[in-house]
Amino acid sequence: MGRYDLALIGFGGVNRALAELISQRGDRLAEELGFALRVVAITDLRAGSLVDTHGIDLAPLLAAEPGELAFAGLPGGSAEPRNEWVIREVPADIVVEATFTNPADGEPALSHARWALAAGKHVCTTNKGPVALACRELKQLAAEHGVGFEFEGSVLSGTPILRTAERMFGGLEITGVQGIMNGTSNYVLGRLEEGVGLRAAIAEAQELGYAEADPTADIEGHDVQLKVMILANEVLGAELCREDVIREGISKITPEDAQDAVSKGLRWKLVGSATRRPDGTVDARVAPVALPGDHPLAGISGPVNAVAFHTDLLGTVTVSGPGAGRIETAYALLSDIIAIHQRHHADDDTAPAHRVPQETSRV
């Protein structure tokens, strides 16, 4: 059986949840997937860095409270994150990037991805910024080095939107996508319908863990703008930049507006959409829309997300599921690792590792 050695860049909720999955159900996953996963490096802004090329023992790290983790003093540990050194120099097959990243310039995730791909390592990331801003460049870099760049978690966490579009719609044309892609704004709109004011509803969403500490990106549509960019470019083959996606948030909608709409059989939703125009160009926008009750997105309530694919042969196909959450987003990374295996190594019987008579060997 083969094995992938992972470098986890960022050890906040998401990569920690991935480490939990590997620790708790690694054997089961190996049996099902045909490869094992081993973590050989972890870096984190607060905890520092930890390297063990024979495999890090995850159990004691996961037993510690997240805020109390400190790698300095452990064998192979340092108080410094040493991201560039770890990414470039530590022998790992896949760099799993889940740092806190600035969506405006995609950093530091963008540099992390560039360093890893240039070093011939596969990359999977949950960060929207580098995918929205530099996907073409990163895919090109990956191709030049014969490795993969995967990013399912950048749209609806583990709900498979990009892979559904890529793998399930062969032979038909996707003419547009429309989605509810931000749980916070959707939750808030639902509360407005119940008569709760905007500020109180946002505070509830923060309390429930849906909203960012600064919920502006959720409420004013910046978060969805990046997701629409990713969908437009990946699913419709556009080459849009951020300014090409028209953006309006939900902050002007009042409880009265929301309740009035319900009385008319409508529901206000923050809809992100990308639609191919007759001339082949793509119209992309995020804006509040009062959807009729029978629209496939009208019944998507609370923090749930959904994307409707408009197609020529099937009409509209809608995929709904969670759009956030640490386990859900960690699952996106696992699905990316599986995709890397399928694309790059599943038929690789000649890889030296497969000839080594060991229980597991690197693929």
Task: Return d(Cα 135, Cα 58) in angstroms, integer.
Answer: 32
Site string for ligand HSE, 132-171 (x = CB under 6 A): ----------------------------------------
Q: How far is C-alpha 32 from the chain's CA centre?
A: 23
**Residue 227 among the catalytic residues:** yes
Distances (CA, A) of 94 to 49, 102, 113, 195, 232: 17, 22, 11, 48, 27
Does 184 contact ligand HSE by CB under 6 A? yes
| Residue of 15, 49, 101, 182 interacting with ligand HSE (CB under 6 A) | 182
Q: Is 212 an interacting residue with respect to ligand HSE (CB under 6 A)?
A: yes
291's tokens: 């959807």
Would you state the structure tokens that stand for residue 156, as one six-digit string? Answer: 């609806």
Active-site annotation holder among 227, 252, 264, 269? 227
Question: Interface with ligand HSE includes 48 (CB under 6 A)?
Answer: no
183 binds ligand HSE (CB under 6 A): yes
Coil, strand or helix: which one is 298?
Answer: coil
Question: Which residue, 316, 260, 253, 318, is CA-closest to 288?
Answer: 253
Contact pattern for ligand HSE over residues 294 through 323, marking x by CB under 6 A:
-----------------------------x
Applying CB under 6 A, which part among 24-32, 194-202, 209-217, 352-360 lies near ligand HSE?
Answer: 209-217
Distance of CA 246 to the CA centre of its chain: 22
- CB nearer to ligand HSE: give 93 or 152: 152
* Interface segment toward ligand HSE; rule CB under 6 A; list 23-31, 112-120, 210-218, 261-269: 210-218
Q: Shortest approach of ligand HSE to residue 68 CB, angstroms?
A: 26
Q: Does 210 bind ligand HSE (CB under 6 A)?
A: yes
Alpha helix (H) residue ranges in the chain: 13-33, 58-63, 83-89, 109-118, 128-144, 153-156, 162-167, 183-193, 198-207, 216-219, 222-235, 255-263, 326-340, 352-355
Helix (H) and strand (E) counts in the chain: 14, 14
> By rule CB under 6 A, what count of residues binds ligand HSE?
10
Among 44, 193, 223, 234, binds ligand HSE (CB under 6 A): 223
- Of 97, 150, 218, 220, the residue at the interface with ligand HSE (CB under 6 A) is 218
Using the Cα atoms of residue 126, residue 105, residue 71 and residue 37 in order, give the sign of their dihedral. Answer: positive
Q: Which is nearer to ligand HSE, 49 or 159 (CB)?
A: 159
- Kindly state the smallest distance separating residue 213's Cβ from ligand HSE, in Å: 10
Amino acid sitting at position 119: A
Binding interface with ligand HSE (CB under 6 A): 182-184, 210-212, 218, 223, 323-324
Active site residues: 227
